[in-house]
Chain A
Amino acid sequence: MASGVTSQASALKRKDSAPTREGDQLIITPLGAGNEVGRSCVYMSYRGKTVLFDCGIHPAYSGMAALPYFDEIDPSTIDILLVTHFHLDHAASLPYFLEKTTFKGRVFMTHATKAIYRLLLSDYVKVSKVSVEDMLYDEQDILRSMDKIEVIDFHQTVEVNGIRFWCYTAGHVLGAAMFMVDIAGVRVLYTGDYSREEDRHLRAAEIPQFSPDICIIESTYGVQLHQPRVIREKRFTDVIHSTISQGGRVLIPAFALGRAQELLLILDEYWSNHPELHNIPIYYASPLAKRCMAVYQTYINAMNERIRNQFANSNPFDFKHISPLKSIENFDDVGPSVVMASPGGLQSGLSRQLFDRWCTDKKNACVLPGYVVEGTLAKIIINEPKEVTLINGLTAPLNMQVYYISFSAHADFAQTSTFLKELMPPNIILVHGEANEMARLKQKLITQFADQNTKIISPKNCQSVEMYFSSEKMAKAIGRLAERTPEVGSTVNGLLVKKGFTYQIMASEDLHVFSQLSTANITQRISVPYTGAFGVIKHRLNRIYESVVSPQEEADVPTIIVHERVTIRHESESLVSLQWTSDPISDMVSDSVVALILNINREGPKVIMPAVENNNNNNKREEETERMAQKVTFALLVSLFGDVKVGEEGKLVVTVDGDVARLDGKNGDVECDNEALKDRVRTAFRRIQSAVRPIPLSAS
């Protein structure tokens, strides 16, 4: 097994140079999320099967620029596309890919992901303020894509074109999955975003039962370590509590779905336990999240035991202290309050409007609860600059307190390293991480797995990772064929049946037993008009075939059997019938028999026709033959030597690598300095002559 990172171009070159290994080559190419966070999309191909993991957009860009590098691949070759969860950076380019490209494979995601995907993308289309030509897709495209998306439940094994795959709980958000793909025994695990920590409503990511050969893993948090969840939750509630007790307002910019539900659970519970806070309103400004509540209420089986137990009593997502907020116009900003608003990066929308309004007051606080993407305002204010640019272009002093308390359910270094230690994959590919973090993680993992010969690779976008898996093709011999195990040196003959990537060897008689295929016999019967005596046929056949017999039992009409294959029956005075079971040899025999019968029909003497023809006619014919022969000779020489010209005196001039040979078309004399060429031309001419001229009758 070898692996290495090469560019796409040289990957193609290698393919040409090593065609024999092509089948065993596994290629993984990140089309997005290679050394970056956003637009997750990883391409994988092995043994002519192609899988695409995720299909996201980059939240910091808009229009075509936000897409993964789809140009690098041919969408029509992709067999399956697996989407891990509903976040925009993992699913939002799906309608584009399904509707605007040549993709014709199948798409899979979990039930919850599909339900939220539709709501989320409709919202994304509405909210994103780009010009019409920059729009990647519209509402109609999303609806159409819904019909093409198939659902898969956790642990359910699905097989498509010989690719087997199933998914595990990933813990990141509701419905998030890690996909395990098995192609011809080589297993690849794609984690998507995952978290190994159980929280208020989600289960921790599972550790797969089988170790994969390749693990494509996210590296969002690199080598950072999360504080324990309890401490984070306490910091979060304490910050909020202290801010509002001082009369300040708290802004929580959060993405509408996923972690926001977790934060709401925390806040609602905290408020229930602190009656003194009941007069402080909590607003949740997301109609989208409200619409998604039904999904959260339904797919409780994808959540943890805690929620399932609460569900028995009452719906935990029916918040008692949190009220929805439609828009900033409906917001009565009079006293302390807590507002959770999207988007999480403060790019635009309600969270930005509130930020602009509140950022100058030092009593106020902004709590950033999740991973902040490079290039957004949220990333800028983390470093607490003195001034910020408002949405109207003016600058304002940044006085409000900014806290960064991460609740984004991504694995930290401790989780990543224990996860990998449990799995022990021989190859690790890092994606979905900012370049620096990823490099640090890679270094640390290399030291950790130093003695295990583990390969750790972090390809950039469009950079292909190639690996070779020497596949041991195993076959199972079954049925009659397997009645005794062959000794070394004995032969095995039978049908090799391949289905997907499994091979079976069986006797042809067993084919219908072990597969849906069946064997068939084709009996052919042909009637040939024949008026001559039947004995003539037998006589002629006897001269060609060794075994021409009449059947033992008396038939109603005269019958002969040739080589136990073809039965010839003299049906009537004017008809002979042939019957045989189709196979290459019988077909050939029967063909010759038919030709023979037809020839007898045309009267034997025709064979010596040329002899009785008159001379005049004969001469003309000879001339014609001669002209034809010359033409054919010339054409054959051209095809043999390439550069052939007709020189003076009807001589043919053959030029090969500078050597010139002159060939006399009449008698076959060759003039040439190069002995080798001379010989070759002479031989060629002799052979051509013998082929194009009729065999002289006098010779026989």
Chain B
Amino acid sequence: MGTSVQVTPLCGVYSENPLCYLLSIDGFNFLLDCGWNDFCDTNLLQPLSRVSSKIDAVLLSHPDILHIGALPYAIKHLGLFAPIYATEPVYRLGLLTMYDYYLSRRQVSDFDLFTLDDIDAAFQNVIRLTYSQNYHLSDKGEGIVIAPHVAGHLLGGTVWKITKDGEDVVYAVDFNHRKERHLNGTVLESFVRPAVLITDAYNALNNQLYKRQRDQEFLEAILKVLRANGNILLPVDTAGRVLELLLILEQYWSQQHLSFPIFFLTNVATSSIDYVKSFLEWMSDSIAKSFEHTRDNAFLLKHINIIINKSELENIPDIPKVVLASMPSLEVGFSHDIFVDWATEARHTILFTERGQFGTLARMLQVDPPPKAVKVTMSKRIPLIGDELKAYEEEQERIKKEAALKSNVNKELRASQGSDAKAGDTMVIDASSSHISSDVTASRVGGFRDIFIDGFVPPATSVAPMFPYFENSAEWDDYGEVINPDDYIIKDEDMNGASAQGFGGDIDNKLDEGSAHLLLDTTPSKVVSNELTVQVKCSLVYMDFEGRSDGRSIKSILAHVAPLKLVLVHGSAEATEHLKEHCSKHVCPHVYAPQIEETIDVTSSLCAYKVQLSERLMSNVLFKKLGEYEISWIDAEAGKTNDMLTLFPVSSTPPTHKSVLVGDLKLADFKQFLASKGIQEALYVAASM
């Protein structure tokens, strides 16, 4: 029998809510994406919390909040502990996106759903794969192979192909078939006839302009505003679609020698660009090619100022400028603040490049006609002063005292257990500072080196400098002194040790200094908010730079892939219904669009068994070649060799069978064939037939 496959949406069906689905293949549970919305609505995670402990593996497809947002929370609070699989860019950029998101949130609220440490902890479980890498799962998932493939849309974006026993389940959401400046188009079209395809209906009702035309309009719109002495704000994501926008601007600016400044402002802007520079392998062929030929990294941005602090923006004089700032929702982050500053002036423009999430400020502004005024909450984190500070300090003091009390109790307990342990502590031989002299050259070297006096400081109590003396309180047993073998082991990492210290941990360095203050900020602070109404006088423009395949292309791609069964998720109710109807007519009869927590069984009705082809049979088979296939009709008799079902040639004359004609007969080919045989042909269209 075929492999059993079930799909259960946990979030994000019949709506544009974040993506999170449960796919179980023969009892092995995959969590497909683990997204959250911009408000961190814990209600959305209810379905996930019910199944999180049963999940065996998490597959991430894109590095944005909608696909990975809930990961830290789920791991911290919902008991999700499965290994996570993602491509290297999804891992890195996803991490930075989460940092940026957290820092933006933290700046304006007492955000406590997860912390930076939780983000780090969550991403520690990520197993990084490369595109087209066939990763064989082990233990419970024995026999399952997962492979990420190019999805387009975002850097590192993934279409997951999960294979078991030759049956493919493909999870493809937010793919883009078009080749862009920095990304290749998806390879989804190269998958043919998967058993199950899970895809989204997000863009089913959208159709796009041609890329060239769209780019041109985009640049013209920007220039028009700049020339009219206005500023442009592009609310962007942290390290996703913004990369494409940066490249478009960078290219145009250097072509046209424009001098208007461009700013890229997120909490992690510099690190994200640094990392992006090292992800050339994941980008489009043209970027790779140009690097191979000229060694010019496309993300060596000459015209774009990468900044991580809004004050840098405020310091420059008021000249027309382009600012790309996170978050795209305008709810929090630098984009929010800048919006409030600029919205009241008619000369400025807010240019949206993607549809805002439902219920966010960005979405509110994107409606037609745009609202005249919007209510926003301005929040600020300010240090505590006066009484508040005092109260805070007292509170801290109290906590400290309690902790101290606790540890005291512990200490006493420990002390009573054994006092002789202390005696050994004084006898610490610093093995790492004593150099290894296991080398021939060492003897010659010694002569011209200074005497090693590091760390030798005369004790304050002594009259004259003297060597420190430690009482030898070593233990002895029947065989002599009890030694610690570790003290005598030559430390391998001697040479490395010195340098490694300078670089510290991985995580801390990734953060920019600007945001580091937030991280390490221990000065007590609080958040003050005030509501205000902003008159929206600036112009609002929306242009689609989402980098997703549009409705028409989605339909043609689906028709080409022609899955045996199709599951639709993520997309507004209308879009889902529309695509479902279309696909059941034109793609395949089995189209499903399950509701949240509705488990649908997409186990293929396929029967299959394995047989061995005997050498005797194969020597009689004449294959006909057809494209990449070779086909032959066989009449065989089943038999057994070594417990394996084996096919042998039939002993009697096989029954006649209906002849099979494979392939499409095209009159044009036929005509060519006749011509090649030297036969004059005349083909006419017979309308009456």
Residues of A within 8 A of B (CB): 20, 111, 114-115, 118-119, 146, 151, 153-158, 166, 200, 209, 228, 230-231, 233-235, 238-239, 241-242, 245, 266, 269, 273, 291, 294-295, 297-301, 305-306, 308-313, 472-480, 482-483, 485-500, 503, 505, 508, 511, 513-522, 582-584
Q: Are B636 and A491 in contact (CB under 8 A)?
A: yes
In the complex, whether B635 has a CB less than 8 A from a CB of chain A is yes
Q: Are A231 and B629 in contact (CB under 8 A)?
A: no
B606-634 residues with Cβ-Cβ distance < 8 A to A are 606-613, 618-619, 621, 623, 626-634
Q: Are B293 and A118 in contact (CB under 8 A)?
A: yes
Q: Which of A230, A234, A490 contacts B638 (CB 8 A)?
A: A490
Q: Are B192 and A516 in contact (CB under 8 A)?
A: yes
Q: Are B634 and A111 in contact (CB under 8 A)?
A: no
Alpha-carbon distance between A511 and B627 when the two chains are bound, in angstroms: 14
Alpha-carbon distance between A594 and B468 when the two chains are bound, in angstroms: 120
Among A154, A230, A291, A299, max chain B CB count under 10 A is at: A230
21 inter-chain pairs at a CB distance below 8 angstroms, sorted by A residue, are A155-B130, A166-B133, A209-B136, A228-B492, A230-B493, A235-B439, A291-B295, A305-B506, A308-B506, A478-B606, A478-B608, A488-B639, A491-B636, A491-B637, A491-B650, A495-B631, A498-B629, A516-B627, A517-B626, A520-B662, A520-B663
Number of A-B contacts (CB under 8 A): 239
In the complex, whether B520 has a CB less than 8 A from a CB of chain A is no
Q: Are B193 and A514 in contact (CB under 8 A)?
A: yes
User: Which secondary structure dominates where chain B touches chain A?
Assistant: mixed
Q: Which of A146, A166, A311, A483 contacts B607 (CB 8 A)?
A: A483
Q: Shortest distance in angstroms between A582's beta carbon and chain B's nearest beta carbon? A: 7
Chain A residues with Cβ below 8 Å from B448 are 242, 245
Q: Which of B166, B664, B665 contacts A476 (CB 8 A)?
A: B166
Q: What 3 A-B pairs are tightest by C-beta distance, nearest first?
A: A583-B659, A312-B509, A155-B133
Q: Are A231 and B438 in contact (CB under 8 A)?
A: yes
Q: Are B611 and A475 in contact (CB under 8 A)?
A: yes
Closest residue of B by beta carbon distance from A305: B506
In the complex, whether B577 has a CB less than 8 A from a CB of chain A is no
Q: Are A238 and B439 in contact (CB under 8 A)?
A: yes
Q: Are B665 and A522 in contact (CB under 8 A)?
A: yes
Q: Are A511 and B662 in contact (CB under 8 A)?
A: yes
Supposing A312-B506, A498-B630 touch, asked if A476 and B662 sit within 8 A by C-beta, the answer is no
Q: Shortest distance in angstroms between A271's beta carbon and chain B's nearest beta carbon? A: 12
Chain A residues with Cβ below 8 Å from B113 are none
Chain B residues with Cβ below 8 Å from A522 are 661, 665
Chain B residues with Cβ below 8 Å from A500 are 628
Q: Shortest distance in angstroms between A200's beta carbon and chain B's nearest beta carbon? A: 8
Q: Are B634 and A498 in contact (CB under 8 A)?
A: no
In the complex, whether B645 has a CB less than 8 A from a CB of chain A is yes
In the complex, whether B510 has a CB less than 8 A from a CB of chain A is yes
In the complex, whether B498 has a CB less than 8 A from a CB of chain A is yes
Q: Which of B132, B610, B628, B635 contacts A158 (CB 8 A)?
A: B132
Q: Are A299 and B278 in contact (CB under 8 A)?
A: yes
Q: Are B613 and A115 in contact (CB under 8 A)?
A: no
Q: Are A146 and B293 in contact (CB under 8 A)?
A: yes
Alpha-carbon distance between A232 and B645 when the two chains are bound, in angstroms: 59
B649-689 residues with Cβ-Cβ distance < 8 A to A are 650, 654-655, 657-665
Q: Shortest distance in angstroms between A603's beta carbon and chain B's nearest beta carbon? A: 30
Supposing A238-B441, A479-B607 touch, asked if A492 and B638 sit within 8 A by C-beta, the answer is yes
Chain B residues with Cβ below 8 Å from A505 are 611, 634
Alpha-carbon distance between A511 and B503 when the two chains are bound, in angstroms: 60
Q: Are A498 and B623 in contact (CB under 8 A)?
A: yes
Among A228, A233, A234, A477, max chain B CB count under 10 A is at: A234
Q: Are B639 and A478 in contact (CB under 8 A)?
A: no
Residues 274-294 of chain B, each 1 if its beta carbon lies under 8 Å from chain A, else 0: 100111110000001001110
Supposing A515-B193, A517-B626 touch, asked if A312 and B277 sit within 8 A by C-beta, the answer is no
Q: Are A301 and B293 in contact (CB under 8 A)?
A: no
Q: Shortest distance in angstroms between A641's beta carbon and chain B's nearest beta carbon? A: 34
Q: Are A146 and B292 in contact (CB under 8 A)?
A: yes
B504-528 residues with Cβ-Cβ distance < 8 A to A are 505-506, 509-510
In the complex, whether B442 has a CB less than 8 A from a CB of chain A is yes
Q: Shortest distance in angstroms between A19's beta carbon and chain B's nearest beta carbon? A: 11
In the complex, whether B313 has a CB less than 8 A from a CB of chain A is no
Closest residue of A by beta carbon distance from B633: A495
In the complex, whether B319 has a CB less than 8 A from a CB of chain A is no
Closest residue of A by beta carbon distance from B295: A294
Q: Are A473 and B613 in contact (CB under 8 A)?
A: yes
In the complex, whether B499 has a CB less than 8 A from a CB of chain A is yes
Among B445, B492, B494, max chain A CB count under 10 A is at: B445
Closest residue of B by beta carbon distance from A159: B132
Q: Are B281 and A153 in contact (CB under 8 A)?
A: yes
Closest residue of A by beta carbon distance from B656: A585
